[in-house]
Each structure stands twice: as C-alpha cells, then as structure tokens.
Amino acid sequence: MPELVFFSGTMDCGKSTLALQIGHNRSARGLQGVIFTRDDRAGEGKLSSRLGLVTDAVEADEDMDLYAYLVDHITRGGRADHVIVDEAQFLAPRQIDQLARIVDDLNLDVFAFGITTDFRTKLFPGSQRLIELADRIEALQVEAMCWCGARATHNARTVGGRMVVEGAQVVVGDVHHSTGDVGYEVLCRRHHRRRMTSAASHAGALSPDVLPVTPG
Ligand SMILES: [Zn+2]
C-alpha cells in the first residue's frame, strides 16, 4: 500500500540529505520521482543538502495544487513513481491534503521531510497537518546536538546574535549561515527555554543553575 510518510526532525538533522538519498536509492532501481521543495537554501527549484549535494526540484509555491500538478505531469506522459517533498513544514495545510490525495487516488508513495516546530516551539501548520494525516511518522535518527552535548530538539532563531521567541513564523535562514541578521541554532529544550544559545553560553552571563557542561 502506498503511504504518506512524514520524516520529522529539527533543523540540521540531515533531512534534506535523507530526502536526496531516498531519491538516489529509488533511481538506482529505475524509479523516477517528482521532487517538490519550498524555499530551499540553494534557491528556487533546488533541493540541496548541507553536505553539498543538490538536485533539481519543483518549487511548490503557496498557490500550487500539488495533486493537479501530478495529474498534469502524468497526463503529459511524465514518469512519477513516487513523490519526495522537502521543507514540507512550509506547505499550506491544504497542500498536505493534496499529498494525501496523491497517495490515495494516484497510488504513489509520498515522502515528506520537515521540521515539526518553529523557533517559538509551535507547530508549523504544514507539519501539524502532516501529523494529522500521515500513515507513518519517522523521527529522523541522525540527531542534531545542542552546544551542551544533549540531543537538540528545538529550533532557536537569533536576530543580530540574540535569541528571539517572537516574530513571523517563516523567515528563511539557516544554521551556520545567517541571512542578513537572522540565524538559526538547534538547542535542547532546556537551553531553548532559557534562551541560551552557544554564543550566550560563552558570554559568561550565566545564572548559577545554568552552568555549561565544560566551563570556560
Ligand atoms: Zn543544551
């Protein structure tokens, strides 16, 4: 049975690398998929991974009907053995419904990769809909690490180097590469709650109960 699978994780956990790997494994078996992405770090119409791999993809604009796109693609004689979606958290909830319809009505596997929660620890609407509709949810096993060494489970946004917990839900940026003033860092929940990024941990302004694992 075809499935809608949601591969979820934090930023920096290798989602795009796994998305590319799934595409590669299937194309090695002669299968050809349609790849959607939205706001990839490499620009429109690209699916890139932090490890340097990149492939062409279809930019899933806000008003694109993904089901209609697939029907049109197949009608024109295009191959579609499966569908891969990266940055699925940025999709509108109705586009997640369209993915479910691709599974049910076109009998295709859909592999969606995304971040579950934003920098305020709130679910992205697209991820919420995926959790509601997916046949299966896989927490990615390549876990990101907080600066303290604990498993990083939350995404922090920094503006001008300081962690913020208010602002627009979507401001495209990346870990290790800030876009203008906005950057991102993955943290454990403890340090997300305390708004303690790596930079803040080095600043020395620590209250006694939040000493880093390796002081100084
Ligand atoms: Zn931590």
- Coil vs helix vs strand at 17: helix
Choice between 41 and 24, residue whose per-residue pLDDT is larger: 24
How much distance in Å is there from the Cα of 213 to the middle of ligand 1? 9
Check residue 179 and give its pLDDT.
57
Choice between 33 and 13, residue whose per-residue pLDDT is larger: 33
Closest to 113 (Cα-Cα) out of 2, 1, 23? 23
How much distance in Å is there from the Cα of 176 to the middle of ligand 1? 17
Q: From the candidates 59, 62, 87, 166, give the one annotated as an active-site residue.
A: 87
How much distance in Å is there from the Cα of 142 to the middle of ligand 1? 17
Instruction: Give CA 24 to chain center in angstroms.
Output: 19
216: confidence class by pLDDT, cuts 50, 70, 90: very low
Task: Give the mean pLDDT of the chain.
Answer: 87
Check residue 177 and give its pLDDT.
55
How much distance in Å is there from the Cα of 202 to the middle of ligand 1? 13
Check residue 191 and give its pLDDT.
95
166 has catalytic annotation? no
pTM of the model: 0.79
Mean pLDDT of 123-136: 97
One-letter amino acid for residue 52 of the chain: G
Sign of the dihedral through C-alpha 42, 186, 172, 19: positive
How much distance in Å is there from the Cα of 155 to the middle of ligand 1? 12
215: confidence class by pLDDT, cuts 50, 70, 90: very low
* CA–CA gap between residue 41 and residue 48 (Å, rounded): 7
67: confidence class by pLDDT, cuts 50, 70, 90: very high
